[in-house]
Amino acid sequence: MLDAIVIELEGCAAQEPVIAPRAVSASALLADALARVDPDRHALAAAIRDAMPLFHWRQNPNYSIANMGAAFMAGYGYVEFVGPKDALFRASGIRVGLLLLAAGLHYPLHAHPAEEIYHPLTDGGLWRRGEEGWRAVPAGHAIHHAPMVPHETKAGDRTLLALYCWRGDTTTEARLTS
């Protein structure tokens, strides 16, 4: 999957017109999370830190205070570097970005038609896929979700920061499954 994403990344172009930066409540947590990124990924953390003023933070339009709660909406957000809409670079078949979850948040079971890989950049999160049990996945390890497989995430006692990549149907947003 990552080889296909690299090929598509090589062909994407800057979004025109340039997308305006935008914050959500959770975006204020990024600097603290970046400070905890493993030194082996220092160059990636520095690149993210340098690009922060350009970020157009988003939240899934299928999520609201009514179905997710105020605490979740205040502590959840994502920014896309590459994608079909509201991203810094335009590409139709992939989405690449960062997910932020505030300490203690539970991102409940959800699914989407795109294949997905997460790469946690911080330690402390728990991940669950399908009927599997919860598992701690250290920073730098991959988590794969096949299309439409329900999955969920819990942030530990610190903010969770993860790089994600979607491939396939990138225009259909995730929906809660329970």
Query: Which segments of the chain does DSSP mark as H helices, in order?
Result: 2-11, 30-35, 42-51, 65-68, 70-75
Q: Please state whether the predicted TM-score (pTM) of the whole model is above 0.85.
A: yes
pLDDT band at 19 (very low <50, low <70, confident <90, very high): confident
The residues pairing with 111 across neighbouring beta strands, listed in sequence order, are 175
Task: Please tell me the distance from the alpha carbon of residue 12 to that of residue 91, in angstroms, as a whole number.
Answer: 5
User: CB neighbours (10 Å) of residue 173?
Assistant: 14
Residue 86, by phi and psi: left (phi above 0), alpha (psi -120 to 50) or beta? left
Burial of 65 (0-12, 13-18, 19+ CB in 10 A): exposed
- What value does the mean pLDDT take over residues 127-151? 96
Residue 4 clears pLDDT 80, i.e. is over it: no
Q: Is the pLDDT of residue 94 over 70?
A: yes
Phi, psi for residue 122 in degrees, rounded to 5: -125, 155
End-to-end CA distance of the chain: 28
Q: Is the pLDDT of residue 1 over 70?
A: no
- Indicate whether 9 pLDDT > 80: no
What are the structure tokens assigned to 53, written together?
Answer: 């003023």
Rounded to the nearest 5°, which phi and psi values hold at 16? -125, 130
C-alpha 86/C-alpha 49 separation (Å) is: 19
Domains of the chain, each with CATH number or no CATH: 2-8+24-176 (2.60.120.10)
30: which residues sit within 8 A by CB, 6+ positions away? Answer: 48, 52, 98, 100, 161
